A and B are shown apart, each in its own frame.
Chain A
């Protein structure tokens, strides 16, 4: 089974993140950039499917030059190669344009299965797999916490607030995964060394046959009017337990009319 894994590079969600003052896009220059967390689970799942039924795993990333680092990190986990869509015109693309470009890139590859993360930690659209399945007219098995492959039949447990749905489709299909699906492996030293030699095919918009006027900030279907940091919460009261803090806590709640 030939599998493509979608990997996005994002600013580390454990750090302070911001937008650029000039064009109001994500501040990437000063940010510490990492693989979107869910995408590590997508890579792991792809590798597991390959280990079970054979085939290839290709990483697909749309992102700037810096995304090369994340691609190498992804490859060090075990995928066979990568496609990096990189073009200055892509800066500031919205979800619609991103899905257009990723769909074009997927059309140029041979695959039975695409695995994406269910959600990125920066944009959080949680919709890329659905948008791609809409564009490509293939099944979208989204929000999986479990994936079973049996020949060309794919079955997932789709994670819900209060349980799950069992959903089935035939390949070709696009699956998106949550962090409940597996435990991603750490790259081995051998994997890190091997990743340096794996092929990374860089594609421009012209290579994909996408016109630069259809993507980027200029073509965005929505725009940021203004932004500001969230006002901090007003400082509260802080006490040190001297044996009666439980009672004092409840007295506070009572004063606030919560209990």
Chain B
């Protein structure tokens, strides 16, 4: 069976969940080989997880140097492994970096590239949700080694233990790959609330919240529910809340169990970032607001009355 390369996403010594999903998707197309690009000595630590989800081989591309340059080294490494392994396909996570790695790789291999894939079948047909999710497209690669860039949740991760043989992959960087040097990494923490894109519940505020100070009302309902806080672009542009919390086309895409929209009208670009949420609740004083078209439970009313009452009720129920 042909190999299917999966680029491993990892952080702080752990394999990210998306990688287990990619390995699961890869098993439909061939025999998964995980590719770990990391500091010397990291790949072995990931072996248990990678094996559990079906990696027959684990390529360890370990190099401190590769990590000091932006994007290009990872596509160099994948291209070199693809050169010897002749894989049936290559799977990469649809993060900002993943999309760039895939773009460079497509150029190197002259291969077709499908990005933002939300579903992948055994026949190699990929599903994409385009135009802010309004249109569902099925497409396939017709030339070269198919490169699929998958979004989180495209497939459900399922364990299927495999050998996970560790193979050392030599790392040699082209001159062109060492032109953008990473000098520093700065983390701007999101505080004590859950990470927006991982959270089970997201409570977002829009322009209707009215001021930065008033966002306390949004935060209070979020905290009662143990939720992350999000914001519409209008709220961000008005300076009510920091940009890193923006939900939508030009912000983050979230798909929580529950999304609560407070004072958000529901513009197409906002929906693009939240319409796949399992349950959507909206509070808006305008009965005609488009957000109600997708709300499972809509309240026509003043958010400053409804949200605090809801927060209090949640706290009462939780005891």
A, B co-complexed: yes
By a beta-carbon cutoff of 8 Å, the part of chain A in contact with chain B is 13-19, 37, 94-96, 99, 118, 121-122, 124-131, 133-135, 137-143, 155, 158-170, 173, 178-180, 220-230, 232-233, 236-241, 243-250, 252-254, 256, 258-259
A222 and B112 within 8 A (CB)? yes
Q: Is B172 an interface residue (CB 8 A)?
A: no
B269 and A14 within 8 A (CB)? yes
What residues on B are CB-neighbors of A127 within 8 Å? 99-100, 102-104, 115
A181 and B141 alpha carbons, distance in the complex (Å): 35
Residues 180-202 of chain B, each 1 if its beta carbon lies under 8 Å from chain A, else 0: 11111111111000010100010
Nearest Cβ in chain A — how far from B129, in angstroms?
A: 7
**Stretch from B19-27, B157-165, B311-319 contacting the other chain:** B311-319
Q: Is B225 an interface residue (CB 8 A)?
A: yes
Query: How many inter-chain contacts with C-beta < 8 Å in the A-B complex?
Result: 272
A252 and B297 alpha carbons, distance in the complex (Å): 8
**Stretch from B32-40, B49-57, B207-215, B302-310 contacting the other chain:** B302-310
Given A14-B267, A250-B317; A169-B179 close (CB under 8 Å): yes
By a beta-carbon cutoff of 8 Å, the part of chain B in contact with chain A is 70-72, 75, 96, 99-104, 106-108, 110-116, 125, 129-144, 176, 179-190, 195, 197, 201, 225, 243-244, 249-250, 252, 257-258, 267-269, 275, 279-281, 283, 287, 292-302, 305-314, 317-318
A249 and B317 within 8 A (CB)? no
Nearest Cβ in chain A — how far from B64, in angstroms?
A: 16
B180 and A141 within 8 A (CB)? yes
What residues on B are CB-neighbors of A13 within 8 Å? 131-132, 249, 268-269
Interface of B is mostly: mixed
B136 and A96 within 8 A (CB)? no
Give A241's nearest chain B residue, CB to CB: B301
A60 and B132 alpha carbons, distance in the complex (Å): 26
What residues on B are CB-neighbors of A232 within 8 Å? 293
Nearest Cβ in chain B — how far from A163, in angstroms?
A: 4
What residues on A are CB-neighbors of B275 within 8 Å? 233
B115 and A245 within 8 A (CB)? no
A18 touches which of B99, B135, B142, B225 (Cβ 8 Å):
B135
Given A13-B132, A247-B309; A169-B180 close (CB under 8 Å): yes
Nearest Cβ in chain B — how far from A167, in angstroms?
A: 5
A sample of 20 more A-B contacts (CB under 8 A), given A134-B75, A169-B181, is A17-B131, A95-B106, A124-B116, A130-B100, A133-B104, A139-B180, A140-B179, A142-B100, A161-B197, A163-B188, A165-B70, A173-B180, A179-B250, A223-B139, A224-B137, A224-B138, A237-B297, A241-B305, A245-B283, A252-B281
